[in-house]
């Protein structure tokens, strides 16, 4: 039996979302039916989010020399990528970017550190940076510091963190192909620890690493099961020196199809268009944002500069999208 939008629509609008089998049926639609798929996704996106786009921003607070072997990552010590490496930044640098982003309309701001986790003096310094950010900005503070234990999660909550970011990166079955130094279940465990401390969760992944569409669906279905409502979607930008440096780039049509199906699986989530969007989608970024995704990362990424802030804001304005 083929997919019936008439039958599925009520379930999606109710917030339940498509089943895995229904989503797989949509992956089998040819690209000639992409416009229809985007119409369906847009109807749901606007039902829950109207024209709103949530902006978030990060700062690379400690760069490089990571002992994990994630094959996509420029910061892994297993790869020779020539990126800038530096120890933990001070509060002045964090404040400088936080002020810039807040002035531009960004509401969510996160420190991101390389490495498996943060310990000792560095962790205490991060807590102090967050206390300063809480006192001097009105930003909602997020953190992305690798793996956590219960005590660290509690301290982050007390320092003013509202949300902990920890990507699944890909589906469970494909994860072993992108990392061997920790497991998919290690990532799930950190998400559960952060949530047990009262933190909200932001978790998503990267598309375009050689995974199948089924692998992507597996990731989003797992995030829905975990009740994750903030989901960053990165598009692989192959980095010289990593094992994926020659990976074929995704075509815009496949990215748009993926985003639309994600929306129909998890209709009330904030899906954030993040790293790789500029080169992979170019002028079709607004198509993705108007039809499926309702969030965007601005102000640059970990090791890539990203688009100028003014251009991003102009792009949203011209598409009649409103910063929420």
Tens of pLDDT, residues 284-310: 999 999 999 999 999 999 988 899 999
| 135 lies in some domain | yes
pLDDT of residue 133: 98
CA-to-CA distance for 286 and 296, rounded, in angstroms? 11
H or E stretch including 77? none
Per-residue pLDDT at 1? 58
Q: How far apart are CA 295 and CA 55, in angstroms?
A: 6
Give the mean pLDDT of the chain: 96
**C-alpha to C-alpha distance for 40 and 293, rounded to whole angstroms:** 13
Domain hosting 305: range is 15-323
Tell me if 2 is assigned to some domain. Answer: no
Per-residue pLDDT tens over the stretch 84-136? 999 999 999 999 999 999 999 999 999 999 999 999 999 999 999 999 999 99
Share of the chain above pLDDT 90, in %: 95
**Residue 272, φ and ψ in degrees, nearest 5:** -105, 120
**Gyration radius of the chain over CA positions:** 19
Give the CATH number of the domain where residue 219 resides.
Answer: 3.20.20.70
10 assigned to some structural domain? no
- Considering the domain boundaries, does residue 120 fall inside one? yes
132 in a structural domain: yes
- Give the number of domains in the chain: 1
Q: DSSP character for 206?
A: E
Poorest-confidence range of 60-69, 166-175, 254-263?
Answer: 60-69
- Residue 6 in any domain: the answer is no
Number of H helices, E strands in the chain: 13, 10
Instruction: Give residues with Cβ within 8 angstroms of 14, minimum separation 6.
Output: none
CA dihedral 27, 31, 35, 39 (to 10 degrees): 0
Task: Provide the pLDDT confidence category of residue 2 given band limits of 50, 70 and 90.
Answer: confident
Residue 4 in domain:
no
Residues 6+ apart with CB under 8 A from 238: 244, 245, 246, 247, 249
> Is 169 inside any structural domain?
yes
């Amino acid at each position: 039996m083929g997919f019936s939008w008439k039958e599925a629509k009520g379930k999606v609008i109710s917030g339940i979302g498509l089943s895995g089998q229904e989503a797989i049926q949509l992956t089998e639609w040819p690209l000639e039916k992409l416009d229809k798929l985007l119409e369906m996704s847009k109807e749901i996106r606007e039902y829950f989010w109207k024209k709103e786009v949530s902006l978030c921003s990060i700062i690379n607070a400690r760069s490089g020399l990571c002992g994990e072997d994630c094959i996509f990552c420029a910061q892994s010590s297993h790869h020779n990528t020539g990126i800038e490496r530096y120890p933990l930044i001070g509060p002045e640098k964090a404040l400088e970017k936080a002020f810039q982003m807040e002035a531009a309309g960004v509401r969510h701001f996160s420190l991101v550190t390389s490495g498996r986790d943060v310990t000792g003096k560095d962790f205490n310094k991060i807590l102090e940076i967050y206390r300063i950010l809480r006192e001097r900005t009105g930003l909602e503070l997020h953190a992305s510091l690798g793996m956590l234990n219960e005590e660290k999660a509690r301290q982050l909550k007390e320092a003013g963190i509202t949300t902990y970011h920890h990507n699944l990166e890909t589906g469970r079955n494909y994860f072993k192909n992108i990392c061997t130094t920790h497991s998919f279940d290690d990532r799930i465990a950190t998400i559960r620890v952060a949530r047990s401390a009262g933190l909200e969760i932001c978790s998503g992944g990267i598309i375009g690493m050689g995974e199948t569409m089924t692998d992507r669906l597996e990731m989003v279905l797992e995030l829905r099961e975990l009740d994750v409502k903030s989901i960053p979607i990165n598009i692989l930008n192959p980095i010289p020196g990593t094992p994926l440096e020659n990976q074929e780039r995704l075509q815009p049509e496949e990215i748009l199809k993926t985003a639309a199906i994600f929306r129909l699986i998890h209709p009330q989530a904030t899906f954030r268009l993040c790293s790789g969007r500029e080169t992979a989608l170019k002028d079709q970024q607004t198509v993705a944002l108007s039809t499926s995704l309702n969030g965007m990362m601005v102000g640059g990424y970990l090791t890539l500069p990203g688009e100028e802030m003014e251009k991003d804001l102009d792009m949203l304005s011209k598409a009649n999208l409103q910063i929420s």
